[in-house]
Amino acid sequence: DPDHVLQPPYEMVHKLDCDLHKRIAQYLGQVLGKQSSEIKKQLPALVLFTAGKLRVCHGGDLFRTKEVSRRFGALEQRNCYVRVGPSWSDTRNVSSSVLTQTGYGDLEKIIALVLPATLLFGELRGKTIVVTLVRPWDTDGKVASEEVVFFESRKARIIMDIRSLRAVVGLVKMRGRWGIIDRAPGTVTTTFADDMMEGYLHDEHGDDDDFIL
């Protein structure tokens, strides 16, 4: 996709650990309608590379993986907090995302890999795909651009198409909980009362960051 530009730092010829290899196989199984166990047998453990940043063209956001974002102290600079949503490929009958609604989470990895040129991979055989590893937040299905939304826990990591990344979101701490700031265009902006906020900017060495990190 020419609108999604991967940027350094890169790690070339990255080897997947067993858990990540399994999750990518599960994702491809859902996308292709195949058994993930069969996908896993043919899916290489070595990927083309991983990227630390992603720029969406035409006014889109700059995303950073969580590892890269940790180099920045202030929360609003950690572009690893993301809004995700449904996205489908242009290839007929091949869905690029298993998402069904808007959600939020941590962007942990951006992975480029070449799929084997075998019939098992259908219309994706022999092609290079880019996927992301995201750890979703538990927000009870709420959308932060429409109402005040907090999250207090994270769900299991999932693999998704890179085009499912929609925007970078912010975080604000209120009475010991983290509220999500989502500036989605064309929507009503939710606000947090000043007397309830404990501060949007935090000392990078403070205890407030412990849960977020």
User: Using one digit for the tens of pLDDT, what is the confidence trace for 33-43?
Assistant: 999 999 999 99
Beta-bridge mates of residue 135: 106
Element (H, E) at 82: strand 81-84
Question: What is the distance between the alpha carbons of residues 104 and 146, in angstroms, rounded to a whole number?
Answer: 14
pTM: 0.84
The answer for residues whose C-beta is within 8 angstroms of residue 30's C-beta and 6 or more apart is 36, 98
Q: CA triplet 177, 184, 198: central angle to 5 degrees?
A: 25
First to last CA, the chain: 31
pLDDT of residue 72: 65
User: Using one digit for the tens of pLDDT, what is the confidence trace for 130-149?
Assistant: 999 999 999 999 999 999 99
Long-range contacts of 71-74 (CB under 8 A, 24+ apart): 73/203, 73/204, 74/201, 74/202, 74/204
